[in-house]
Chain A
Amino acid sequence: MSFFIRKNQRGAKRNNGATVTGRPKTYKEKKRLAHDDEISSHSEGENDDSRVYTESEEDEETVQEKRLRLTKEYIQEIENQERIRREEHDIDKSVIAHRLKEDLLEQSGRLRRTVADSYEKVDEALIRHLHCKDHKQPITCLTISPDCQSLFTASKDCTIVKWCLVDFKKVAAIKRVDKKTSSEVKGHKSVVQSLSISSDGKFLASGDLDNQIHIWDPMTMKWMHTFRGHRAGITGLVFRRGTHTLYSASMDRTVKIWNLDEMSYVETLLGHQDAITSIDALNKERAITAGGRDNSLRVWKIPEESQLIFNGHQGSIDCVRLINEDHFVSCGDDGMLSLWGSQKKKPLCSVSGAHGVDASNNQAFWISSVAALTNTDLIASGSQDGFIRLWKCGDNFRTLTPLLSVPVCGFVNSLAFSSDGKMLIAGLGQEHRLGRWWRNGSAKNEIVIIPLKQRETS
Chain B
Amino acid sequence: MRVKKKTQVKTDFKRANPNRPREISSKSRRIETKVAIQVPKVFRSDPRFDNLCGEFRERSFYRNYDFVNKMKEDEVKKLKEELQEETQPRRIEKIKYLIQRMENQIRAEKKRKLEEEKQEEEKRITIEALKEGKSPYFATKWARKERDLKEKFESLKEDGRLNQYMAKKRKHNAQRDRRHMPSEQY
List chain A positions with a Cβ less than 8 A from chain B. 269-271, 273-274, 292-294, 299-302, 304-310, 342-346
Listed by A's residue number, 23 A-B pairs whose Cβ atoms lie within 8 Å are: A269-B27, A270-B29, A271-B26, A273-B35, A274-B36, A294-B34, A294-B36, A300-B26, A302-B26, A304-B10, A305-B25, A306-B23, A306-B24, A306-B25, A307-B23, A307-B25, A309-B23, A310-B21, A343-B19, A343-B20, A343-B21, A344-B19, A345-B20
B48 CB to nearest chain A CB (Å): 40
Contact of A270 among B22, B26, B35 (CB under 8 A): B26
Chain A residues whose CB sits within 8 angstroms of the CB of B25 once the complex forms: 305-307
Chain A residues whose CB sits within 8 angstroms of the CB of B28 once the complex forms: 270-271
Q: Residue of A at shortest CB range from B37?
A: A293
A269:B26 contact, CB within 8 angstroms: yes
Q: Residue of A at shortest CB range from B11?
A: A306
Asked if B31 is an interface residue, CB under 8 A from chain A, the answer is yes
B100 CB to nearest chain A CB (Å): 55
Chain B residues whose CB sits within 8 angstroms of the CB of A304 once the complex forms: 10
Contact of A309 among B22, B29, B35 (CB under 8 A): B22
Asked if B46 is an interface residue, CB under 8 A from chain A, the answer is no
Chain B residues whose CB sits within 8 angstroms of the CB of A270 once the complex forms: 26-29
Q: Residue of A at shortest CB range from B30?
A: A270
A299:B21 contact, CB within 8 angstroms: yes
B36:A307 contact, CB within 8 angstroms: no
Q: Residue of B at shortest CB range from A345?
A: B21
Size category of the B interface is 10 to 19
- Interface of A: prevailing SS: loop
CA A271 to CA B37, docked complex, whole Å: 17
With A273-B36, A274-B36 in contact, is A305–B24 under 8 Å at CB? no
B141 CB to nearest chain A CB (Å): 70
Asked if B49 is an interface residue, CB under 8 A from chain A, the answer is no
New A-B contacts (19) at CB < 8 Å, excluding given A270-B27, A342-B21: A270-B28, A273-B31, A294-B34, A299-B21, A300-B26, A301-B26, A302-B26, A305-B25, A306-B23, A306-B24, A306-B25, A306-B26, A307-B24, A309-B22, A309-B23, A343-B19, A343-B21, A345-B21, A346-B19
CA A427 to CA B23, docked complex, whole Å: 35
Chain A residues whose CB sits within 8 angstroms of the CB of B35 once the complex forms: 273
Asked if B32 is an interface residue, CB under 8 A from chain A, the answer is yes
CA A301 to CA B13, docked complex, whole Å: 13
B156 CB to nearest chain A CB (Å): 74
CA A345 to CA B22, docked complex, whole Å: 7
Chain A residues whose CB sits within 8 angstroms of the CB of B37 once the complex forms: 293
CA A135 to CA B20, docked complex, whole Å: 44
CA A108 to CA B20, docked complex, whole Å: 22
Q: Residue of B at shortest CB range from A274?
A: B36
Chain A residues whose CB sits within 8 angstroms of the CB of B31 once the complex forms: 273
A308:B22 contact, CB within 8 angstroms: yes
Q: Residue of A at shortest CB range from B13?
A: A306
Per-position 1/0 for B138-169, Cβ under 8 A of A: 00000000000000000000000000000000
Contact of B24 among A292, A293, A309, A310 (CB under 8 A): A309
A293:B36 contact, CB within 8 angstroms: yes
A344:B20 contact, CB within 8 angstroms: yes
Contact of A305 among B21, B26, B34 (CB under 8 A): B26
A273:B26 contact, CB within 8 angstroms: no
CA A344 to CA B21, docked complex, whole Å: 6
B36 CB to nearest chain A CB (Å): 4
Per-position 1/0 for B44-55, Cβ under 8 A of A: 000000000000
A447 CB to nearest chain B CB (Å): 33
A273:B21 contact, CB within 8 angstroms: no
Chain B residues whose CB sits within 8 angstroms of the CB of A294 once the complex forms: 34, 36
A398 CB to nearest chain B CB (Å): 14
CA A271 to CA B31, docked complex, whole Å: 8
With A273-B34, A274-B36 in contact, is A309–B26 under 8 Å at CB? no
CA A343 to CA B20, docked complex, whole Å: 5
Chain A residues whose CB sits within 8 angstroms of the CB of B34 once the complex forms: 273, 294
CA A270 to CA B31, docked complex, whole Å: 10
CA A294 to CA B13, docked complex, whole Å: 22
Per-position 1/0 for B75-117, Cβ under 8 A of A: 0000000000000000000000000000000000000000000
Chain B residues whose CB sits within 8 angstroms of the CB of A273 once the complex forms: 31-32, 34-36
Q: Residue of B at shortest CB range from A346?
A: B19
Chain A residues whose CB sits within 8 angstroms of the CB of B27 once the complex forms: 269-270, 305
CA A308 to CA B23, docked complex, whole Å: 4
B10:A308 contact, CB within 8 angstroms: no
With A269-B26, A342-B21, A344-B20 in contact, is A306–B36 under 8 Å at CB? no
A339 CB to nearest chain B CB (Å): 15
B22 CB to nearest chain A CB (Å): 5
9 tightest A-B CB contacts, nearest first: A293-B36, A308-B21, A345-B21, A307-B26, A269-B26, A309-B22, A310-B21, A274-B36, A306-B23
Q: Residue of A at shortest CB range from B9?
A: A305
A322 CB to nearest chain B CB (Å): 15
A305:B20 contact, CB within 8 angstroms: no
Q: Residue of B at shortest CB range from A268?
A: B27
Most A-side CB within 10 Å, residue of B26, B27, B32: B26
